[in-house]
Amino acid sequence: MTPSPPRLAVSGLEVAFGGLTALDGVSFDVRPGETVALIGPNGAGKTTAFNAICGLVKPRKGTVHIDGRPAPARTTRLLAAGVARTLQGLGLFDRLTVLDNVRAPLIALRDRDADAKARTVLDDLGLTGLADRPAGALPYPERKRVALARALAPRPRLLLLDEPAGGLGPADIDALAETVDRLDCAVLLVEHHVDFVMRTADRIVVLDFGRVIATGTPDEVRDDPAVEAAYLGVEAAA
């Protein structure tokens, strides 16, 4: 029996901006049901990798495959390919209600059950009581949950989380970790909060200066001297 392809496969990715090489031969994969964290110091290439996967930047070399097929070149086709992404800046429609924000990607997909599916996700994330409130009127932690609900509404096979724990307090981070642990889709996350990464990730890929310097389980990465020097040590010193 032929094994199924990874949900996401990144191979030999190279991205350059002018004379600056942002990614240099980056390769990793995310398997169905797996959570993989992409970490590294500022400027390591994490966001560039996300943008290359989403088609926002064009690689000089390398490939991105989703379920064994080339990733869409246009971001508007990601939803149809089963990919959803959250943004650091949230990207919510502040004047629309929470329900309308969560319903938006389903409407874009012309899903006839948009309303029911949106309400189910709101219920799963404890947001039902906020469904009719304008998204812009909510406190930041709740806005983050709305952004996550919007990404989950189309039931993606691959979820890209861009610093999901950023700006959250300990209680909200704990709740977010529990939510990520319950997800049945593949997850690729970029995150600076080391404790959150160690708690939620099945595997970790560490970037430094655009190159993969380590990959493995949280325990393997934690004990890697190169990682400690390039990233974890910097966090500890801070």
- What domains can be seen in the chain, in order of their start residue? 1-82+157-238 (3.40.50.300), 84-155 (no CATH)
Spans of the chain, pLDDT less than 50:
234-238
The answer for residues whose C-beta is within 8 angstroms of residue 112's C-beta and 6 or more apart is: none
Q: What does pTM read for this prediction?
A: 0.89
CA–CA gap between residue 160 and residue 163 (Å, rounded): 10
Distance CA 178, CA 180 (A): 6
72-114 pLDDT, tens per residue? 877 678 888 999 999 887 889 999 999 999 999 999 999 999 9
